[in-house]
Structure 1
Amino acid sequence: MPNADSSQLDVLIIGAGIAGLAAATALRHHNVTILEQSRLKEEVGAAIHLGPNAAKIAMEWGLDLNNLNSPETQWYHELGHDGRTHFKIPIFARKEFGAPWLLNHRVDLHNELRRLATTEDGPGKPAVIRTASRVAEVQDAETGKVTLADGEVLSADVIVAADGIHSIGRTAVLGQKLVANRSGHSAYRALIPRERLLENPRALAILDGDEKGMGLTTFMGSDRRLVAYPCRKGTLLNIVAIVPDSEAESSTEEWQVLGDPEKLLDSFKDFCEDAKFILRAAPGCNLWQLREQDPLPTWTKGRVILIGDAAHAMLPHQGQGGGQAIEDAEALGVVFPPSTPSSAVPERLELAQKLRYERATRIQSYSREKALGPKPGEKVVNAQEHAHYNFGYAGARDWAAKQNIELPASA
């Protein structure tokens, strides 16, 4: 049953990924329990951007940059498949947007968000993480009940479905199971230790940066691209190599499917020697089918709300998947201030959706448009053309003021 004590809400969060841990951090002034199906030994994956829009929010929560060891993006360099520069532009994230653009090892970011959600030293109270607790279904969205795989039924005032692209919560909200759309492309991912790049000074410079600092590099083809950037204090080069699905028959939407390094190299056989050197330097690779979903008709029903990929799965071309999840979480903290009555939960969830829907949907569309760069004969488009919209976000309160959205009096 919902919490009779209106001073604090009982919150269940489905999923302990980036979205779930961010939501737990934003809602520490309530009673938060995270239900995670794995045993949470370690988050999987490679590296992940955190643009200044999300870094600013996380730093306000207490994000410790020393724990992340994440390089800051100081420039963006785009080259053609032949290695000739299209453009190299400086990035002044701290000056323009008030926070850094961080290039994180996913495990480091996950661990730091977990610390923020569960530390005894933070505001409110630590979130409780229940591992090996797979949610089988959201039994009743209106009353706030979930059923675990072992049959246990849990109730809460608020259920936050942060359970990704295969969301159980989304099925409850929409009344049907949704399968994300294939984009037509797959991505190879790998982390390359610095010592494997020493024989090629130009490749090594992509990791080490220049006198202005570190940044992102992209080799662009008409239907494929290789993205490379440093993480973990520049000891690792993260690469994402995007290819047509026709050249990646074994790919699935699962994150950790092993890729074939020879097929990866063959997909880039027409690229310059520097790009091919980087690909050969990878000690191994994973293959991931890129999927997205069209905007949902709603993210909320009763006491349930979808956030992150469950609400707005997007392609990686704007580097905003994790950032939008953090923005979703921050908005929940705003619409559920201390002393929110349980009776107000459904309308507050609708308010959270109102705060977030237009912006997240627009960034979904940015991630889709011109996803793989110019076709033959087209003008080269600056990949950072949406940077001011993406990065200029200053939180839900500022957004509400600009959009004339009324917030709760105590928010």
Structure 2
Amino acid sequence: MPSQTGWRRLDAAVVGGGIGGLCAGIALRRAGHKVTIYERSDFVGEVGASVSCAANGTRWLHEWGVDIEKGDPVLLRKLINRDWKTGEPISVYDLDDYEEKWGYVYNMFHRQYMHRMLLDCATQDEGDGEPVECIDIDTEKGIIVFESGISAKHDLVIGADGIGSAVRGIIGIKPERKPAASSCLHANVDTAKARELGLVDYSQDSALEYWGGQKEWNKIVLSPCNRGSLLSYYCFFPREKGDYANQKWDAESTVEELLAPYPDLDEQVLSHLRIGVEVKPWRLWVHQPYDWWHKGVACVLGDAAHPMMPHQSQGACMAIEDAACLGIVFSKKHFAGDVSSALKLYERTRKHRATRVQAASARAAENIHERIGES
């Protein structure tokens, strides 16, 4: 594409309508561009896991005018590390001054509610249409070709299509990856049901709570969401106790599989897990940083650009920051008309930070005290 001078309104395509894709759509709309989001899923089967949105993500939700209350968040108040066997607090880190220190609160969302919140902000209408699959993109001309043979031409193409990204492969990135040393099963627990059974009501803590994770693979992470009505459990254990790295994304597991690795776990947590629902494996792969994120008028963001291990709870925030950066580089203040040059600036701005967080998230698998370095 020839070099152009002066801001111009772009016809942008976002491939993937998850958290990162919707944020990219919002950011580019706020920057004055026309945006079409291509998504094959209706999200009815979306995993009902919690999503952490620290201050570095929350600030952009405010910047874009997202109605955060629609996401039914829990505000993080504490970090609690508990004894693996007894459940007694080993340490409690109070976060009452979090907003004062960082400028914004730390929200914990239910993924489906967060998606709906962002969708409302981006489009206000989900719309009709049959699912499509992205097969090929002309990265120089911005042409998307779908399985049906229908094609669409855009000035800018953003791949927000997740860890299995088609766009990433189309722009020539071949991931170097290996299975993580740990496996993870996720489960949800209804807080009201736990109360009825006389179990501990962890929702009252408004906390991220941890059992284990001290230089070992056994770790339980509890995150409340939906204003505390749902408790989201992430259960990690050595891969030799259960290998889910190659499971299908929509695979289901059983409560028996969930309990098996933890014969000596705190009985209160075990009692919660026994009433867990939506038990699903979380495929864990460690990706090396990619050499580039864009080609021509196409780029990737979020998990398509820097798949994260979950141990720093920064995956959503990094996708939000990517989207915010795209909104800035294509803003009237900074965009001079050349899409490829703007994408080079996006990559140069984001790649160093995101890959640092990516590396720290992998290290944190063995040490819950690992710092991300920048926030």
Q: Tell me, yes or no, whether TM beats 0.5.
A: yes
Structure 1 counterpart of 2:179, one-letter code: R
CA–CA distance in 1 between the matches of 2:175 and 2:48? 24
Alignment correspondent of 2:191: 194
Alignment correspondent of 2:104: 99
CA–CA distance in 1 between the matches of 2:301 and 2:247? 19
Is the counterpart of residue 8 in structure 1 residue 12 in structure 2?
no
CA–CA distance in 1 between the matches of 2:200 and 2:347? 44
1:199 is displaced (CA, Å) by 6.0
CA–CA distance in 2 between the matches of 1:310 and 1:77? 32
Is the counterpart of residue 26 in structure 1 residue 7 in structure 2?
no
What is the CA deviation profile of residues 33-58 of structure 1, one whole-angstrom value per residue up to 9, with x for unaligned ones? Answer: 11112244464331110111001111
Gaps of 5+ in 2: none
- Would the aligned equivalents of 1:269 and 1:276 in 2 still touch at CA under 8 Å? no
Is the counterpart of residue 142 in structure 1 residue 101 in structure 2?
no
Alignment correspondent of 2:169: 171
Distance 1:150 1:172, change over 3 A: same
Is the counterpart of residue 80 in structure 1 residue 83 in structure 2?
yes
1:292 is displaced (CA, Å) by 3.1
Aligned residues: 367
Q: Secondary structure at the match of 2:365?
A: coil
- Would the aligned equivalents of 1:187 and 1:287 in 2 still touch at CA under 8 Å? yes
Alignment correspondent of 1:243: 237
What is the CA deviation profile of residues 276-332 of structure 1, one whole-angstrom value per residue up to 9, with x for unaligned ones? Answer: 122112134111221231100000110011100000001000001011000000000
TM-score, normalization by structure 2: 0.90
What is the CA deviation profile of residues 359-411 of structure 1, one whole-angstrom value per residue up to 9, with x for unaligned ones? Answer: 100100110114133xxxxxxx635x44x722xxxxxxxxxxxxxxxxxxxxx
Q: Secondary structure at the match of 1:27?
A: helix
Structure 1 counterpart of 2:323, one-letter code: A
Alignment correspondent of 2:359: 365
CA–CA distance in 2 between the matches of 1:341 and 1:357? 19
What is the CA deviation profile of residues 69-114 of structure 1, one whole-angstrom value per residue up to 9, with x for unaligned ones? Answer: 1110010001231234331101132111111111100011001111
Q: Structure 1 residues 188-197 or 253-262, which shifts more?
A: 253-262
Alignment correspondent of 1:111: 116
Alignment correspondent of 1:281: 275
- 1:185 corresponds, among 182, 187, 190, to 182
- Aligned-residue identity in percent: 29
- Would the aligned equivalents of 1:35 and 1:131 in 2 still touch at CA under 8 Å? no
CA–CA distance in 2 between the matches of 1:128 and 1:97? 37
Gaps of 5+ in 1: 121-126, 374-380, 391-411
- Would the aligned equivalents of 2:83 and 2:212 in 1 still touch at CA under 8 Å? yes
Give RMSD over aligned pairs: 2.5
Distance 1:318 1:253, change over 3 A: farther
Alignment correspondent of 1:215: 207
Distance 1:253 1:327, change over 3 A: farther
1:194 is displaced (CA, Å) by 1.2
Distance 1:188 1:229, change over 3 A: same
CA–CA distance in 2 between the matches of 1:278 and 1:372? 25
1:215 is displaced (CA, Å) by 1.0
CA–CA distance in 1 between the matches of 2:217 and 2:51? 22
- 2:369 corresponds, among 357, 382, 403, to 382
Alignment correspondent of 1:405: none
